Structure 1
Amino acid sequence: MTKRIRSFPLMSMAVLAMAITACGTTPSVGAPTGTDAGGDRQLVTLRIGPGVTSAALSAALSGAQVLVFDHTTGRAVLSVPAATAGTLAPGSMSTQALGSLDAGVLGVEPDGVMKVLTDDPEADALGATTWAGGLTTWAGGLTTWAGGAITWAGGTSFLNNTDLTSATAYWNRLGLSTAQQKIPELGSGVKVAVIDTGLDMAHPLLQGRIDSAGGWDYVGGDGNPQEENTGGKYGHGTAVAGIVLQIAPNAKVIPMRALAPDGSGRISNVTAAVNRAVSVGARVINLSLGSTSNSVALNTAISAALAQGVLVVNSSGNAGTQGIVYPGAGLGTTFGVNSGLFAVGSVTLGLQKSAFTQYGANMSMTAPGELVLTTYPDARLVKASGTSFAAPAVAGALALALSTGASSASVITAVKASATLNQDLLFNLQLGAGTLNVGALAGKFR
């Protein structure tokens, strides 16, 4: 979820995605087609018995597309035409449409919209111009990549002193140098699904770190989840991925394009992307998006992921108000606080609550989310602010810890137990366990 993003001339930053030291049964995956069909379809969540098959459900419900089918949790989610949904009653164990199948309807809901949320009306109004609060050109111009991908070993960097100081302050707050020395795997063998606006697949700092085969474009309905420069949230997914890879540079990012360039996408897109992420081997899923409305369908997909030990990170929202957005808002009710779902808010480097972050007693933790240097399409860099850019730091830290061979359960406990206590006396009780400390987290495993 984005508050704002400010451009940064790239002539520079080989460090970014590379490194600081040297960067049951599996739910079935149906045909990964675009599901951005609009309000003429509804989402149906079902309880399924052990003898029910995905094919049988598809055959029973006219025009159905299976988004989630998971015998481990005994749940399925289907996208169906509104006319078909009208024949199904929540709570019914058998309907004419389902026939004799051992399946019961748990919920029927509109295929609503999830989005990158912002509290910046000016940026929203600008639409495709920029999401930088009124800038018509990028600070420093359209500087492009030069010099290839160079890792930062022994302190070598192409950043100027001012920007290197800013980036180093962020890394130091996280204890990142210590963490990457203790965990030289740097996320190797761990895949992180970024469900967002897509990815600049050609960005030089991301090369060798993208699982393109696992990715999918649910907006366009094809296998190329490339960001499109036609809307006001262009670059959001690329910026999120760059932060994941700063923390765990040897991890692989699975790009799932579930949101259009304006930052919005159907719940069915996000639900299907969560399901596919698990099927193609993601260990961590980042959701820098949200909704003010709860979704049984998306909760079902997340529950199926958690049941497989997949960790899910959600940004808390940027309205600056009490109460976080869904799905993270379901922590403590739909999801256990230690289930593997994380709701992440933003703090300053001084460990004070960011003015824009949403907060609440069920928030998991925080991470720095103001002016974070990261990747942007067309071989550029930006400084980005918002809980959208706090969440992927946690996702990267989880990947780093998992690459030691640690279990998901142990990582859930350790990342909270190792957090640095925030210094905001007014809001501390509503900012979770504290701020991400990757160095201390590494110390729990090495």
Structure 2
Amino acid sequence: MIYKIAALGLLTCGLLAACSRTVPTASAPQERFDRVVTVSIQAGDTPQSLAQAVGGQVLRWNADGCAAGDKTTCTALIGLNAPLGGQSLRALGGRTVYSEPNRDVFSGGGSVTSTMNGKTSMWSGGKTSMWSGGKTSMWSGGQFSQIPENTALWQKIRLEEAQALAPGLGRGVTVAVIDTGLDLQHPAFAGSLSDPSTWYDFYAADTNPQEEGTLGTGGYGHGTNVAGIVLQVAPGAKIMPLRVLGPDGSGDVVMVAQAILWAADHGASVINLSLGSEESSRIVQDAIETVTAKKVMVVSSAGNSNLNKITYPAADARAEGSGAYNLSVGSVDLNDVKSSFSNYSSELEVMAPGEQVYAPAPDGRMAAWSGTSMAAPMVSGSLALALGQQLSPQNMTRQLTRRAADIYKVSGNKPYKDKLGEKGRLDLVEFLDHAGDN
């Protein structure tokens, strides 16, 4: 909620981005707060005085624009575990204060749906040409040789033809996967991760964003699968692993916003958010608007509740100030029918196949997941393919939605007219043919 103590000004939240190094084993989360508050800074304020007035802990003191009177860069971010009561509000008189829930607001979506031959299979030999070189030789006779179970998916979005059109395969492009972390030692990611100096675990407050948990329980394996999908589409790209979700698949507003800002500051060109919330977070949306102003593209999944509304931040993807570099993604099956789980909405922008998508799984294994979380990284990988051809990102998201395959003529989609994107399902060839158009 917004407390109108003074004339409401636009607040942006630059968030804490680095903490001391630790090496976690079954890590506990960093200190967490029930709510997060932004407060405009006034002359004479100190972090200690505002923390005392609010009754919380200052997470970020962003005073860059205070001397110039710029309210957008003159704010403090404060975490607290008690209601912001009347006494605190009186102590903050003459300021603009904004408060919203923080703890476990965001969650990842999707579920493990199957494993190879009824069990989770090991990656043979620990290396394959896809992961080591990212060459187009991964294709053999129309089959995706490393994961043939995905062949029909890739044929649906015309991946083989698209990779021939974009021989750079996303090289030089970094995609930040903000998720449950990754299996950092998985052979699928050998040579495909960004420099370790760009990694961070915002859940545990350390520099080792390693997935933790048990496959098939909670969110464990979610981030590894998402990152693996990006690399199957754009094998030349680099993945920046950023952990914001715990083993149960949930995480805090502050963690997600921190990671978005960190990703842009550390060289990501595309940010994948296969996560969502039922409620809009102004703090996360401010972070997205900050990075899209730098022409960083953000891709968000639409949610898996089969509802006529999509989760946030996907629902804000068309918002003024970020829409040109922001996309929301839902899921279809191989017949181009809306997946039974996928949310839908007039705000939704594009669809991609999100059922039974095989990709790396923790401990060197492979598994299939289903969810809009699996559709989103196909779009993130598509953007990486186009960026790897040195194309301008300026109109890229617009062309991706405009050049999608029309799925409204499919009978199963009749109940969802105009709620599955402008046209429908991702078509990589059409997109790449026009990605650089105005």
One fold, TM greater than 0.5?
Answer: yes
8 Å CA contact 1:310–1:340 kept in 2: the answer is yes
Which residue does 1:385 correspond to in 2? Answer: 370
Which residue does 1:10 correspond to in 2? Answer: none
- Between stretches 388-397 and 145-154, larger displacement belongs to 145-154
Deviation at 1:210, TM superposition (A): 0.8
C-alpha distance in structure 2 between counterparts of 1:69 and 1:367, whole Å = 42
Change (3 A) 1:58 1:46: same
Which residue does 1:227 correspond to in 2? Answer: 211
- TM score, norm. by length of structure 2: 0.79
CA RMSD of aligned residues (A): 3.5
Q: Which amino acid aligns with 1:167?
A: N
Which residue does 1:9 correspond to in 2? Answer: none
- 1:444 lines up with 2:434 in the alignment: yes
C-alpha distance in structure 2 between counterparts of 1:301 and 1:58, whole Å = 25
Change (3 A) 1:58 1:287: farther
Q: Which amino acid aligns with 1:213?
A: S
Q: Which amino acid aligns with 1:435?
A: R
Query: Quick one: percent identity of the two aligned structures?
Result: 34
Change (3 A) 1:223 1:425: same
State the aligned residue count: 395
**Whose RCO is larger (CA < 8 A, sep 6+)?**
1
2:153 to 163, 170, 178: 170
Deviation at 1:264, TM superposition (A): 0.7
SS of 1:115's equivalent in the other structure is: strand
Which residue does 1:31 correspond to in 2? Answer: 18
Q: How does 1:390-409 map to 2 (within 5 A)?
A: 390-409=375-394
Deviation at 1:240, TM superposition (A): 0.2
Deviation at 1:237, TM superposition (A): 0.2
C-alpha distance in structure 2 between counterparts of 1:73 and 1:408, whole Å = 30
1:352-400 per-position Cα deviation (integer Å, ceiling 9, x unaligned): 1111100000001110101112111111111221101000111111111
Change (3 A) 1:385 1:141: closer
Change (3 A) 1:349 1:402: same
Deviation at 1:196, TM superposition (A): 0.6
8 Å CA contact 2:139–2:160 kept in 1: the answer is no
Q: Give the gaps of 5 or more residues in structure 1.
A: 1-25, 90-94, 124-130
Change (3 A) 1:318 1:84: closer
1:54-87 per-position Cα deviation (integer Å, ceiling 9, x unaligned): x966774353011988869925561323469556
8 Å CA contact 2:301–2:372 kept in 1: the answer is yes
SS of 1:345's equivalent in the other structure is: strand
Deviation at 1:402, TM superposition (A): 1.7
- Between stretches 427-436 and 193-202, larger displacement belongs to 427-436
Change (3 A) 1:311 1:70: farther
C-alpha distance in structure 1 between counterparts of 2:16 and 2:393, whole Å = 22
Which residue does 2:9 correspond to in 1? Answer: none
- Between stretches 58-67 and 180-189, larger displacement belongs to 58-67
Deviation at 1:259, TM superposition (A): 0.3
1:65 to 23, 36, 59: 59
Which residue does 1:215 correspond to in 2? Answer: 199
Deviation at 1:166, TM superposition (A): 3.9
Which residue does 1:430 correspond to in 2? Answer: 419
SS of 1:425's equivalent in the other structure is: helix
Q: Which amino acid aligns with 1:222?
A: D
Q: How does 1:83-232 map to 2 (within 5 A)?
A: 86=85, 89=89, 96=91, 104-105=96-97, 107-113=98-104, 114-117=106-109, 131-132=112-113, 139-146=118-125, 148-151=127-130, 153-154=136-137, 166-211=149-194, 212-230=196-214, 231-232=217-218
SS of 1:170's equivalent in the other structure is: helix
Deviation at 1:167, TM superposition (A): 1.9
- 1:42 lines up with 2:44 in the alignment: no
Change (3 A) 1:161 1:45: closer
Q: Which amino acid aligns with 1:228?
A: E
C-alpha distance in structure 1 between counterparts of 2:160 and 2:380, whole Å = 17
Deviation at 1:162, TM superposition (A): 11
Change (3 A) 1:79 1:339: farther
8 Å CA contact 2:113–2:356 kept in 1: the answer is no
- Between stretches 155-164 and 303-312, larger displacement belongs to 155-164
C-alpha distance in structure 2 between counterparts of 1:171 and 1:352, whole Å = 16
8 Å CA contact 1:29–1:68 kept in 2: the answer is no
Which residue does 2:6 correspond to in 1? Answer: none
C-alpha distance in structure 2 between counterparts of 1:297 and 1:155, whole Å = 41
C-alpha distance in structure 2 between counterparts of 1:159 and 1:335, whole Å = 42
C-alpha distance in structure 2 between counterparts of 1:312 and 1:67, whole Å = 26
1:23-76 per-position Cα deviation (integer Å, ceiling 9, x unaligned): xxx96754347974344x531235679xx99x9667743530119888699255
2:358 to 363, 370, 373: 373
C-alpha distance in structure 1 between counterparts of 2:146 and 2:234, whole Å = 21
SS of 2:188's equivalent in the other structure is: coil
Q: Which amino acid aligns with 1:115?
A: S
8 Å CA contact 1:68–1:301 kept in 2: the answer is no
Deviation at 1:159, TM superposition (A): 12
Deviation at 1:426, TM superposition (A): 2.5
Q: How does 1:254-269 map to 2 (within 5 A)?
A: 254-269=240-255
Which residue does 2:314 correspond to in 1? Answer: 328
